[in-house]
Amino acid sequence: MKPVKLIVLGGSAGSLQVILSLLAALPPDFQVSILIVLHRNGIFDSSLEELFSSRTGSPVKEVEEKEPVFPGTVYICPADYHVLLEKDHSFSLDYSERVNFSRPSIDVTFRSAADSFGEELIAVLLSGGNADGVEGLKYIKEKGGLVIVQDPATAEVPYMPAQAVLKGYVDFIVPAGEIPAFVGGLARPPLSR
């Protein structure tokens, strides 16, 4: 496996606590970019950047059009836009129709990230109430990326991860409490001898 350059976290209802735990576990020298695709509602829209920043020493910011992906930065998909990744590893925002009743759609971002990052990508699908992200995981696997799904038994809303497991588009099924250490371990470069 190539060194990981991007981790994309996709989640909906019940995923926030896992994301906060993962951010809190990031070491200060973590150099992998993280993109968070959340089905958002008004409650968290204005405060997500502030909330996530309070849990990590990494820079946290909402995605902006044509912005390059910087190492070690945590990006949040803005409400009501699909987020795409270009071949040059920059972001693009799209206001086209909803996919799986969602904008941002996890599937849209997963597919785009797979095209841009291929084998340098880890995708994590978390708790949620619809199947958004499941077909994107299939595409990520086809492009050589690594797929992790929250163990549905540990999900507040198990439908989303359960659909991924059912379809078989999964490399690892990981309980919620173990996701931060597991993802962090995969994303760290191997020690040189």
CA dist., res. 35 & res. 102, Å (int)? 17
List the beta strands (DSSP E) in 17-97. Answer: 33-38, 60-62, 74-76, 82-85, 91-94
| Helix 16-25 vs helix 179-187: crossing angle, to nearest 10 | 50
Instruction: Give the tens place of pLDDT for each residue, 50-77.
Output: 889 899 999 999 999 999 999 999 999 9
Q: Quick one: which of 93, 48, 92, 100 has its CA closest to 74?
A: 48
Instruction: Give the tens place of pLDDT for each residue, 138-174.
Output: 999 999 999 999 999 999 999 999 999 999 989 999 9
- Using a 10 angstrom Cβ sphere, with 0-12 exposed, 13-18 middle and 19 or more buried, the burial of residue 103 is buried
Domains of the chain: 6-187 (3.40.50.180)
Count other Cβ atoms within 10 Å, centred on residue 189: 9
- pTM of the complete model beyond 0.85: yes
Give the active site residues: 12, 39, 132
